[in-house]
Structure 1
Amino acid sequence: MLVRCVRIISPFGEPVETYPGVTVGAVYPVLEIAYLTDVYYVRIVDDESDGPGSLWSPEMFETVDGHLPTCWSSAMAADGSLRLAPSKWLRPGFWTDCLDRDPVALADYAEGKAAVLADAATP
């Protein structure tokens, strides 16, 4: 799935002209979509592309290619939240483990990111 940035909304909810990691007009692969009870976001491979991607409001983007990556699975929780991401990323505590530099979580992240990017590159 590819999206184009059409406007930038800062993490504080304000429209801004520029912000580190995203550029208006640039196209980004989507690594994950999450609709949680209190927030809705997309995780993209941002302009820095080194880390775990960055989280942004979907209001900032338009869909360029709506093909869902074949490696994505979905997970719905009892509170009604829904996530679409590589299946290994959907386990409870995955992102905490990534931030704690857990080797298994980092390997699962790298594998999932590579699968999403390979899928996005397929015509």
Structure 2
Amino acid sequence: MKVKCIKLLNADGKEVEFSPWLTLGREYPVLSIDISDSGKISYRIVTSERDGFWPDMGLHQADCFEVTSTIIPSNWRVRIYKNKGLSIYPDTWQDNWFLEAFYDRDPKAFPIFQQEYQKILTEDP
């Protein structure tokens, strides 16, 4: 699945002219879809990537994007939470430790991230 950034929103949902994370007109592969218990939809995307550096991955409001590809990666699985929210993302990322370890830059998380990220990119080039 891919999305194209069509507007920039701050955390309150108000349109802004600049974002340090997103670029207007840029297409991003979606790494997860998150739906909160209130129905708010967000996409997890890599916002910056440079050789030799840990990639920046963040959760962004779906209202910032238009969907450009509806191909669902084969490694995605649905996880339903007790609070009625749900996430759709790679199975191996659903281990309770993974996302926290990734954001903490735990070296054990990187190969797991890279394997699933490459699968997503390969299946929707």
Bucket of the pairwise TM-score, normalised by the shorter protein: 0.7 to 0.9
Which residue number in structure 1 is paired with residue 84 of structure 2?
80
- Give the C-alpha shift of residue 3 in structure 1: 0.6
Q: 103, 106, 112: which one pairs with 2:110? A: 106
State whether residues 28 and 44 of structure 1, in contact with CA within 8 Å, keep that contact through their aligned partners in structure 2.
yes
Which residue number in structure 2 is paired with residue 97 of structure 1?
101
CA distance, structure 2, for counterparts of residue 97 and residue 37 of structure 1: 24
State whether residues 6 and 62 of structure 1, in contact with CA within 8 Å, keep that contact through their aligned partners in structure 2.
yes
Q: How does 1:15-30 map to 2 (within 5 A)?
A: 15-30=15-30
| Residue type at the aligned position of 1:33 | I
CA distance, structure 1, for counterparts of residue 102 and residue 15 of structure 2: 30
SS class of match (2:31): strand
Q: Give the % identical residues.
A: 27
Which residue number in structure 2 is paired with residue 6 of structure 1?
6
CA distance, structure 2, for counterparts of residue 112 and residue 75 of structure 1: 16
Which residue number in structure 2 is paired with residue 65 of structure 1?
69
Which residue number in structure 1 is paired with residue 49 of structure 2?
49
RMSD: 1.7
| Residue type at the aligned position of 2:101 | D
- Give the C-alpha shift of residue 101 in structure 1: 2.8
Q: Which region of structure 1 is more displaced relative to structure 2, 31-40 or 71-80? A: 31-40
User: Which consecutive residues of structure 1, in runs of 5 or more, have no partner in the other structure?
Assistant: none
CA distance, structure 2, for counterparts of residue 36 and residue 107 of structure 1: 28
Shift in alpha-carbon separation, 1:36–1:73, aligned structure 2, 3 A? same
SS class of match (1:117): helix
CA distance, structure 2, for counterparts of residue 69 and residue 30 of structure 1: 9
CA distance, structure 1, for counterparts of residue 105 and residue 49 of structure 2: 17
SS class of match (1:45): strand
The two structures have a TM-score, normalised by structure 2, of 0.84
